Amino acid sequence: MSRLKRARQIVLLIAVLLVMAVVGTSIVAISVVRQSFPETGGELQIEGLTSSVTVNRDDRGIPSIYADNANDLFRAQGFVSAQDRFFEMDLRRHVTAGRLSEMVGSSSVDTDKVIRTMGWRRVAEQELPKLAPETRQYLQAYADGVNAYIKQAGSPEKMSLEYTVLARRNPNYRVEPWTPVDSLAWLKAMAWDLRGDYKDELARAQLSRTTRSLKQINLLYPPYPVDRNLPILSAQDWQPAAEADQAASAEPAALEQLRSADGNTAVTSALASVEAVPALLGRGDGIGSNSWVVSGSRTTTGKPLLANDPHLALSIPGIWGQVNLQCRTVSPACPFRVSGFTFSGLPGVVIGHNDKVAWGMTNLGPDVTDFFLEQVTGDAYLRDGANTPLVQRKEVIKVAGGADVPITVRSTVHGPILSDVVPDIDTAGDRSVVRGAAQSNRYAVSLAWTALTPGTTADAIFALNKAGNWSDFRKAAALFSVPSQNLVYADTAGHIGYQAPGKIPVRRSSTPGAPPGFWPAPGWDSQWDWKGYVPFDDLPQTFDPAEGFIVTANQAVTASQTPFLTSEWDYGFRAQRIRTLLAATPKVSPETMTQIQGDSRNTYAPGLVERLLSVQVDDFTAQAQRLLRDWDGSQPNDKSRDSASAAYYNAVWKYLLEFTFDELPPDIAPDGGSRWMVVMEQLLKDPKNDWWDDKTTPGVTEGSGEILKRALVEARLDLARELGKVPATWRWGRLHQLDLKHQVMGADGVPSLVQSLFNRVDIELGGGNSIVNANSWNASKPGYDVTSGPSMRMVVDLGNLDASRWVNSTGQSGHTYDDHYSDQVDAWAANETFPWPFSQTAVRDASADELTLVPPRPATTP
């Protein structure tokens, strides 16, 4: 055989071997990825079931579960939830227990410290025995279903691909059984991200140490514009029982101490602690929601229509799962026929409808947290002139691949001391004088928060799921402790309504003209303690208002300050735009409801544009400035002129805020949301206000004209670099993109190859801050990337529930490369929705797979 022929054979053999290796590797990789995918057909035996349960899944993998009794229904929901998203459930329970470091290593120690200090899981443990017996029964049934899945799966690698990746760092990880407390603890995460006025209270305390006067600080927190952007309820819809008598002092009682080096360090430490908690649902101006309901007298169907799209952090898998829970025969023993959106790890439906009523939620954002400046000496703190022992406990944080981290949690009568979590407090500076005597102490900051006392929100979820009328709905709302939400209501009988629920503290005011809770309070004086909670019957509500529709989009609930809910609403641009669109439509159709959800008009922009067009600029900048002429504020993602105009406007807005508020610390710099729109509007009426002056230019005092021009010029240069020199070719969507990231595998620091397995990136979106299609971005951060948005959309047709529509932001599955991991993303991005079958006939017609869950069969003897 010739050498050439032999060489050719060797090359051919190597090629065959390489192909076989690639094919073999691919087969192994596919096998590893697919081994955790759920079984969706055939029959499975599930421990604890008393009768068979049917699980129909549609083309998007959304389950409809049919059972004969409530325990079997929730046991099956637990099993199916674990099939789809067990890793997400496991991750959430580790976060809420302050045990994330056990999964992912030392990078999460700071997060664990803060959550252990607040004691989320400890509160959930206290909450469980206080819930209604049937609630505890449903939670246990759900947990039993999850544990049946864990037992069947056998090992973490067969539950999710994430465990296979994590095993390289944490090979000894074992999955623990699920418990009802694991479900309840997630409600604390919801309450944390959706609470109101926590960061601003600390931010004001930080600013009080600067050279800015209280007047200048107060300019950054303007009152809600009730005449321009209407509250949820008019005076005709709801009247408070009586105006409250708010006592007040001459100035913030703790201001002198806040301005001290020691007090300021404590506040800075507390703020750092708060920021260490990951945004589980989201935070910032974009974290809100739209929800509105229209009476049948104003709809094309003759029955109410209800829309909802909660604005939360966007990740993959998304926040929500979709489910349809049905008792085959509705009875007192099995009262559920409900469908909608829920959280993985939590039984029941959080937002949706049953066969009689529908409900939606937006964040009410009440002020349910207060920070107290505490005078701590050793193991005691000052309280009404006497030293009171701190309550202390030891915690140990276990770290995957690292040493245990012990911490000591200290608490006062107000709550846990958050400033302890950041060690800088130990090196704080000066001492201060209190009650005329020098104190050998250091200041600390404690947190009072309504969610740190046991509540009944879990009871409320099941009560909502069973509600058959307005009276039932209000009884359910009365159980809704935290997070406090605007609840909108509609029923098949034709009624609509609104109810504000939740535990809202009653406290005294801090200063004349300022609302309660505006500043951290002096913890050493009990007169500043909470005085209880607003009675449920005093909270705003309305039923069948004359206007024929109710709009909630995080704006003020009423023009009245009684009862006091918060001072820091969303400033209402989204809400007013929805109201305008509804009022202009004589008969609202389901299609109109969906169109409104996708509205991209920036209603604030035209007023600012008028000022921007009056500024004289150079020819190069003027090429972009002309884009703003005849622009109506629309911010679409397309190749239209409007999209180019939106790109330039948002760049100008970003730089205008940066140049105006350049002295603010980065952690409290303007995010560009609705509050800053009102702030800027007021400042433009005062062109010589001190905020306009650039302190880095000594000897020169800038006014509004100079800052407006600088913003126009810099935005032109920025977009020329980013999008090209020709303004007409610019497109908002090229700047304004969403990266859907996995919370663990998609995070910074993870190898890019692993990230690419789990993330879905570069999704171009329209909309923006304070726009109905609220794909928000943060003006204080580099770029224009989307930080939050509509986490789902739904429109419920109370005239024909099967005609309702819904869409999720990602997909039903938590398994990457499963067909349903991201199969709703494109429709969601385009503001398209899918059919939402509810009746048994509609579900059967839409069914793509059917799984039967049955009780275990007795073992046969040989």
**pLDDT tens-place string over residues 313-362:** 899 999 999 999 999 999 999 999 999 999 999 999 999 999 999 999 99
**pLDDT tens-place string over residues 726-770:** 999 999 999 999 999 999 999 888 899 899 999 999 999 999 999
Residues 617-642, mean pLDDT to the nearest whole number? 97
**pLDDT tens-place string over residues 788-807:** 999 999 999 999 999 999 99
User: Between residues 757 and 862, which one has the greater pLDDT?
Assistant: 757
User: Between residues 373 and 21, which one has the greater pLDDT?
Assistant: 373
Query: Which residue carries 């002056």 as its tokens?
Result: 693
pLDDT at 75: 98
Burial 693-709 (b: 16+ CB within 10 A, else e): bbeeeeeeebebebbbb
pLDDT at 12: 54
Residues 634-640, mean pLDDT to the nearest whole number? 96
Three-state secondary structure readout of 677-722: HHHHHHHHCCCCCHHHCCCCCCCCCCCHHHHHHHHHHHHHHHHHHH
Query: Which residue carries 């300022």 as its tokens?
Result: 514
pLDDT at 239: 83
* pLDDT-based confidence at residue 449 (cuts at 50, 70, 90): very high
* pLDDT-based confidence at residue 519 (cuts at 50, 70, 90): confident
Parallel, antiparallel or unpaired: strands 521-522 and 369-377: parallel
d(Cα 358, Cα 351) in Å, to the nearest integer? 8
Residues 773-782, mean pLDDT to the nearest whole number? 96
Residues 369-392, mean pLDDT to the nearest whole number? 94
- For 402, how many CA atoms within 13 A lie in the half-sphere containing its CB? 18
- Asked if the model's pLDDT at residue 21 lies above 60, the reply is no
Residues 108-120, mean pLDDT to the nearest whole number? 94
pLDDT at 207: 83
Phi/psi at 860 (5° precision): -85, 140
* pLDDT-based confidence at residue 105 (cuts at 50, 70, 90): very high
Contact between 22 and 813 under an 8 Å Cβ cutoff? The reply is: no
pLDDT at 665: 85
Contact between 420 and 410 under an 8 Å Cβ cutoff? The reply is: yes
Closest CA to 497 of 507, 483, 487: 487
Average pLDDT, the chain: 90
Residues 699-713, mean pLDDT to the nearest whole number? 95
Quote the percentage of the chain above a pLDDT of 90.
Answer: 75
Parallel, antiparallel or unpaired: strands 357-363 and 369-377: unpaired
Contact between 75 and 51 under an 8 Å Cβ cutoff? The reply is: no
* pLDDT-based confidence at residue 199 (cuts at 50, 70, 90): confident
* pLDDT-based confidence at residue 668 (cuts at 50, 70, 90): confident
What the block records as the tokens of 456 is: 């009944």
**pLDDT tens-place string over residues 26-65:** 444 566 778 899 999 999 999 999 999 999 999 999 999 9
- Asked if the model's pLDDT at residue 423 lies above 60, the reply is no
- Asked if the model's pLDDT at residue 403 lies above 60, the reply is yes
pLDDT at 789: 95
- Asked if the model's pLDDT at residue 8 lies above 50, the reply is yes
- Asked if the model's pLDDT at residue 7 lies above 60, the reply is no
* pLDDT-based confidence at residue 699 (cuts at 50, 70, 90): confident
Residues 695-705, mean pLDDT to the nearest whole number? 89
Residues 391-406, mean pLDDT to the nearest whole number? 96
Query: Please, which residues have CB within 8 angstroms of residue 610's CB and are 6 or more apart in sequence?
Result: none
- Rg, Å, the chain Cα set: 28
Q: Which of 61-65, 243-247, 686-690 has the lowest mean pLDDT?
A: 243-247
Closest CA to 340 of 789, 794, 747, 765: 794
* pLDDT-based confidence at residue 437 (cuts at 50, 70, 90): very low
What the block records as the tokens of 287 is: 């974290």
- Asked if the model's pLDDT at residue 545 lies above 90, the reply is yes
pLDDT at 23: 47
pLDDT at 208: 78
Residues 589-593, mean pLDDT to the nearest whole number? 98
- Asked if the model's pLDDT at residue 683 lies above 80, the reply is yes
